[in-house]
Amino acid sequence: MDEPEVAEAAQAVLAGDRRALARAVTLVESSRPDHRRAAAQLLDRLMDATGASTRVGISGPPGVGKSTFIEALGTEVLAAGHRIAVLAVDPSSARTGGSILGDKTRMDRLSREPDAFIRPSPSGGELGGVARRTREAMLLCEAAGFDVVVVETVGVGQSELAVADLVDVFVLLASPGGGDDLQGIKRGIMELADLVVVTKADGDLEPAARHAATDLRRAISLLRPKYEGLTTETLLVSSPAGVGVAEVWAQVRSVHDHLSRTGQLDRLRAGQAQAWLWDEIRAGLAERFRRTPAVADELPALVEAVRSGRIAPTAAAQDLLDRFTLAVRP
Ligand SMILES: Nc1nc2c(ncn2[C@@H]2O[C@H](COP(=O)(O)OP(=O)(O)O)[C@@H](O)[C@H]2O)c(=O)[nH]1
Ligand SMILES: [Mg+2]
């Protein structure tokens, strides 16, 4: 993509052209070096039009009801006059080559709305790459005029941490009947939550959902608050019936307003931007390192030597880094 094409793409995204937005997201998802360069130029042109959205992360284990909830939330958010973009981060799809299909059908209603944009995560790639593409896709959506951006992630290991690092408000979904182990939520993940939502508070599951909420409230009360003057609420929803969803949205707004009013949102985003810069530098350096012939020539032998215990990893790393430094020195 040359300069004028990038300029044209930027104009189309700014005009809210959904197909242009979809193409731009495809561009930032590509790992081809020329695409990476074009994507960076495109984002650079759009930066001024970004940042005005409410960025919401929604996480929880598979089957907890994330997609169903987001569909209900989306309806609420659209009714309030917003435009909503939903991006999915699913590191498991990298391994299974799919798993997002179910989500697509479940967000059927939302995906037909003209003021909604749904984008499942691309399969393939490691978490770092998926998170980077999601950050960029989020900025593109903002430039296209979406003022609510929801990032859905399957709660497996590190992905919650990555998502919590790119949104303003992080919502954790828990299911009833998780037993006495607090639905298996790890303490570290609970500490990230700005809001906890217990799903499936309906029918036979309602008592269990109330019980789970009580347990979660108790557990949260023992944690150090994430922000001064803000408590992490635990709310109940029944997504298919839409019960409790408006309350969740109101609470998301309230947390966001608080952060915004107190200057904490600016600090949060500044920190996120800085962390992103270092992610990019780390990823770019590793890439250039691997591609440097003086490194690439020795890498397989040294990896083997480290694997068999003949050379200490530290020594091998030193050796390779010295080769890299020598190679890049003018
Ligand atoms: N009864 C009830 N079922 C729900 C609710 N939310 C989701 N489900 C069901 O739980 C299953 C998993 O939902 P899904 O949204 O795909 O979960 P995800 O994997 O977290 O995205 C589906 O069969 C949904 O119909 C709810 O609030 N109440
Ligand atoms: Mg889902």
Q: Is the pLDDT score of 101 beyond 50?
A: no
Tens of pLDDT, residues 295-326: 999 999 999 999 999 999 999 999 999 999 99
Judge if the beta carbon of residue 59 lies within 6 A of ligand 1: no
Length of the chain as a residue count: 330
- Distance from Cα 226 to the centre of ligand 1, integer Å: 28
Adjacent-strand bridge partners of 153: 59, 89
For position 181, what pLDDT does the model report? 55
Residues 6+ apart with CB under 8 A from 43: 28, 136, 139, 140
Judge if the beta carbon of residue 225 lies within 6 A of ligand 1: no
Of the pLDDT bands very low, low, confident and very high (cuts 50, 70, 90), residue 94 is very low
Mean pLDDT of the chain: 88
Give the whole-angstrom CA distance, residue 85 versus residue 9: 19
Q: What is the pTM of this model?
A: 0.89
Pick the CATH number of 1-48 from 1.20.5.170, 1.10.1040.10, 3.30.70.2660, 3.40.50.720: 1.20.5.170
Chain centroid, CA 192 distance in Å: 13
If one looks up domain 274-328 in CATH, what number appears? 1.10.287
Question: For tokens 């691309």, what's the residue?
Answer: 122
Domains in the chain: boundaries: 1-48, 50-262, 274-328
Structure tokens at 67: 């997609």
For position 224, what pLDDT does the model report? 86
Pick the CATH number of 50-262 from 3.40.50.300, 3.40.50.800, 3.40.50.2300, 3.50.50.60: 3.40.50.300
Tens of pLDDT, residues 272-303: 999 989 988 998 899 899 999 999 999 999 99
Closest ligand to the CA of 90: 2
Answer positive or negative: Cα dihedral of 45, 280, 38, 145. negative
Q: Which helix (H) or strand (E) holds 155?
A: none
Q: Is the pLDDT score of 105 beyond 60?
A: no
Tens of pLDDT, residues 144-199: 999 999 999 887 667 777 888 899 999 999 988 755 455 556 777 888 999 999 99
Judge if the beta carbon of residue 120 lies within 6 A of ligand 1: no
Residue predicted with more confidence, 284 or 56: 56
Closest-lying ligand 1 atom to the alpha carbon of residue 102: 16
